[in-house]
Chains A and B, each alone.
Chain A
Amino acid sequence: MTSPIPDPLAAGLASGWKVVDASALDKDLTLDADVVIVGSGAGGGVTAEILSLAGLRVVIVEEGALRSSRDFKMREADAYPQLYQESAARKSKDKAINILQGRTVGGSTTVNWTSSFRTPPDTLSWWQNRYGLKDYNVAALAPWFQMMEERLHIVDWPTPPNANNGLLGEGAQKLGISFGHIRRNVNGCWNLGYCGMGCPTNAKQSMLVTTIPSALSHGATLLTRARAERFALQNGRAERLDCSALTADGIETNGRRITLKARHFVVAGGAINSPALLMRSGAPDPHGLLGKRTFLHPVVVSAATYPQPVEAYSGAPQTVYSDHFLHTGPVDGPIGYKLEVAPMHPLISATTMAGFGAAHAALLHKYPHVQGMLALLRDGFHDGAQGGAVELRSDGSPVVDYPLTDYVWDGARRALLTMAEIQFAAGANGVSPVHELAQTYTSWNEARQAISALPMQKLITRVVSAHVMGGCMMSADDRNGVTDPKGRYHGVTNLSVHDGSLFPTSIGANPQLSIYGIVARLASGLAEDLTGRPAPRPVAA
C-alpha cells in the first residue's frame, strides 16, 4: 500500500543520497572526509547541514538505523526498541532513574515531544558569571535562536491544548500560578499525539526531515548502524575514528570495522555517549572533568483521575507549561522545577505508574480519565545538585551514576505537592503521586498530609529523565571545563563537541532549542575556520 503521506527520506534515497547501512557491509570500510560528525541528533544534524552548505565533505556516523514516516506506526512496542537507547529502558547505574534518549537517525529529535524554549536568561547569566561564557547572553544568542526557529518552523501552537495540557492551565489559573503556552517545531501537525513514536506525518521538524536531508542533498554521507568506538589521538590531534558495524537489530557488532579520517571531528552523540566516546579514546582530562557534572532534569510524576475523559494519549503532547516554581527563589536556592504534562500512552504509562496487582489494574481501568503531570527539577546550580558521572562498563558501554541527594528530594516532594494541588484545583477526584508507597488520594488535604510524610528515596519514588546534559562542559578557563566557549576540546586541536554535553548546568527547560541555537553558532564558526569564508545560513526548504 502506498501512503498518501510523502516520505522525503524515501525520495532522497531514490535520488542517490550517500547512505551506507553498516549492518549490510560485507567488508571493512574506510572513508575520508573534511569533517566527521558523530551523531545525527540536535547537535549533529545542525552541524551537518551548516558544514555541508559551506561546501565541506561531511560524514555523519549514527549508531541507530535510518527509519522514516513509513516505519512510524504509532506503536509503542515497535518504536521503543527501534528508536531509543536501550529500548527506552536506559537506566542510571543504581536503576533509580529511567532515561529516555533517541537512537535513530535524527536522535532524540525524532522522538521528542516538540517543546521548544530558548535557553532561560537566568541560566545564561549563571554561565557567564561562573564559567566565563561571555558570549552566552540573551542578546548574542537571539539571532541564532531566531535562525533555527525559522529553519525548524518553531512557532506558537495555534490549536487549543488537549485536555491533558488544558487541566494544567486550569488548575494553575485557579491557584494564581503563572503558566504559558509551549512553542513547537511542527509544520502541518495533525495533532495526533504520537510524537514519541516518531512523527507519522512528517510534521515534526526533527533533524530527520530537515537538516539531515539537506546535508545529504549537499553531498554528505550518512553511515547508519555504526558505533563510534574510539579516536586514535596522536600529538594533540585526532588522526582517525574507529567504528564498529552493528547487526541489523542494532545490538551486536557484526565484525566489520569502519575507519574514518578527517581534518576535523565533531562529537555530538548526546551527553552520555559523547563523554563515553572521549573517555574510551583516552582524551586528555587533566582536571578530571570529562563525563562529570552530567545533568538529567530529574522528573517526578503525578497521575490524577478526573470525572470526565482526559484522553491524555491524544493531541499534541506538550502545549502548556509553568515556570512559576523556577522563579520563586534564586537559581541556587532550593531546587526549582518546571511543570509540564506527559502524554499517556499505555505501555509507558503502565510501566511508569506505581503499584502492582489490583491497585495498578484499578488505575489503568480509569485509563482514559487519567492525567499525567510532570515536574522537571533544575539541577546543576547548587552544591546539592552537582549532577552525575558517566562511567564505562567493562565492555566500554556507558552508564550514568547519578546521586539523588536530599537537596533534590526536597524539590521532588515540593513538586509532588504542587502537582497534586493543581490537579485537585482542576477538578481531579483522585491524585496518585508516582511513588511505590503512595495511595490514591481523594482530597488536597489528604494528599498534602500523605505526600509530606512519604519517604523520598530512590527506587520507591519514581524518577525519570528525558534530558541529558553536561559531561563535556564548556568554560573559558580550562581548569573548569573540557571544552572552550567555541566547543573545541581542550588539548585536541581538531576535535569539537556540539551537543547538550557542553552545557555547564542543566537548562531548566526542554533543551532542544538550546542545542539548536548554540550549535548553529558553533558550527558556523567552525565552517568559517575550516573554509576561510563566511558560513552559509540554512533556510527551510
Chain B
Amino acid sequence: MVARVLAVIMAVQLVAAGLFWYLFSRWMPLDVALVLAIVIVLLVRMIITANNFRLAARMGSAPPDEHKLDLFGRLRLFLDEYSSTMLTTSWNMLRHRERMHIASNPRGTPVLLIHGYGANGGFWAHLSGMLEHERISHTTVNLEPMTASIDDYAAQVERAVQALRKATGAHKVAIVGHSMGGLVARAWLRRHGASDVARVITLGTPHHGTGLASIGVGSNARQMQLSCEWLQQLEAFDREQRGLFTSIYSYHDNIIAPQTSCHLPGAKNIPFGGIGHVALGRHPAILQRVVAEILSIP
C-alpha cells in the first residue's frame, strides 16, 4: 500500500515535471527546460523538508550546549536529511520487497525491523545491508493498513517474530523500531509479553508524542499526539520492563518535537546530535550503534 502511495506521489512529481518542461520549452531549449523542470520538483521536495525542520524547531526542545550546531553543521544536517528522504521515498521504499535473511553462521540475536509512520520495510535498506554483512539474521515487516491503530499492528509483529524464531531456531529476537515502529514494538510487548524478545531498540521514537502528529492522518497519528491518553497508558504499562529498551535519538530530529520525547525513562538512552529523522536509518554512526547494541545482547 505504501509503495503504491509512493508510486502515485512519484507519478504526480513526474507529471508535474513534464508539465513544467512543456511550459518552459516554449521559452527555452528542450534540455534546459528539462533541467529546470526537475530542479523545480526537487525544490518543492526541499521546501517540504525545510518546513518540517521549521515546525520541529518551533515546537522543539533546545539541544544541550555540546550538540549545538554552527551554520555548516546545520547545512549538513539539512542536506543529509533531504537526500535521505529522497532516496528512501523515491527509491528504497518504492522498490522494496519484503524479505527475511538467514545467515549461515550467524552472529548475535536475529532482528525484526519495524518501520515508522507512512513508510514500509524499504526504510531499512541500509541497515539491512549492514546486518547481512555482519552475518546477523533479520527480517522486516510491512505494517498495513497505513493509518490503523498502533495496537492493530501487534498481530503482524507477532507473526513476524514467530517466523523469525522458527527460521533461525533462536529463542529470542531483537526488535529495532523506527519512529512509530518503536511504539508498535511496545504495543506488541503489551499484548504478547516479553518472553520472545531480548532487546527493543527504538530509533527516533516519540515515546511521549510529537507536535507534528497533528498534521498526520489516522488512528496511529492521533496516538502519537503529545502526551495523549494512549501514550500515557503505554507509559504506565511497561514501566517495569524498561531494562529491555534502548532509545537512540537525535537532538535535531525534524519530525519528533520536542526531541526529548524520545527519552524513555528507565531505558538505555543514547542521544546523538546533527541527524534528521529519516537520516536515522542511514547515518553510519547510528547504524554502527544499532549493530553494537544487537551484538552486545548476551
Contacts and interface: CB of A to CB of B under 8 A. Distances in A.
B103 interface: yes
A26 B103 contact: no
Contact of A16 (B97, B100, B103, B169): B169
- The secondary-structure label for the interface of chain A is strand
B98 A57 contact: no
Contact of A20 (B98, B99, B103, B167): B167
B167 A18 contact: yes
A30 B132 contact: yes
B163 interface: yes
B57 interface: no
Interface stretch (A31-39, A293-301, A443-451): A31-39
Given A16-B169, A18-B169, A20-B167, A28 B98 contact: yes
Interface in A257-279: 257, 262
Contacts of B97: 27-28, 257
Given A30-B132, A257-B97, A59 B104 contact: yes
A31 B104 contact: yes
A29 B100 contact: yes
Contacts of B100: 25, 27-30
B139 interface: yes
A112 interface: no
Given A34-B104, A57-B105, A27 B98 contact: yes
- The secondary-structure label for the interface of chain B is mixed
Interface in A1-37: 16, 18, 20, 25-34
B99 A27 contact: yes
B178 interface: no
Given A16-B169, A257-B97, A31 B102 contact: yes
Contacts of A262: 104
B92 to A, nearest CB: 15
B163 A26 contact: yes
Nearest to B167: A20
> Which has the most chain B C-beta neighbours within 10 Å: A16, A27, A59?
A27
Contacts of A29: 99-102
B98 A31 contact: no
B169 A32 contact: no
Nearest to A33: B104
A31 to B, nearest CB: 5
Contacts of A221: 102, 104
A235 to B, nearest CB: 20
A27 B142 CA distance: 10
A474 to B, nearest CB: 29
B99 A28 contact: yes
Nearest to B105: A57
B99 A30 contact: yes
A32 B104 contact: yes
A224 to B, nearest CB: 13
B169 A30 contact: no
Contact of B102 (A26, A27, A30, A257): A30
A210 B98 CA distance: 35
A58 to B, nearest CB: 8
Nearest to B140: A27
A539 to B, nearest CB: 25
Interface string B79-113: 00000000000000000011111111100000000
Contact of A26 (B98, B105, B169): B98
Interface string A43-59: 00000000000000101
B157 to A, nearest CB: 14
A262 B102 CA distance: 12
Interface in B148-189: 163, 167, 169
Interface string B111-154: 00000000000000000000010010001100000000000000
Contacts of A257: 97
Interface of A: 16, 18, 20, 25-34, 57, 59, 221, 257, 262
Interface of B: 97-105, 132, 135, 139-140, 163, 167, 169
6 contacts: A26-B163, A29-B101, A30-B99, A30-B100, A31-B102, A221-B104
Which 5 pairs, one residue from A and one from B, show the smallest C-beta to C-beta distance?
A27-B98, A28-B99, A57-B104, A33-B104, A30-B101
Given A32-B101, A32-B102, A221-B102, 9 more contacts: A16-B169, A28-B97, A29-B102, A31-B102, A32-B103, A32-B104, A33-B104, A34-B104, A257-B97
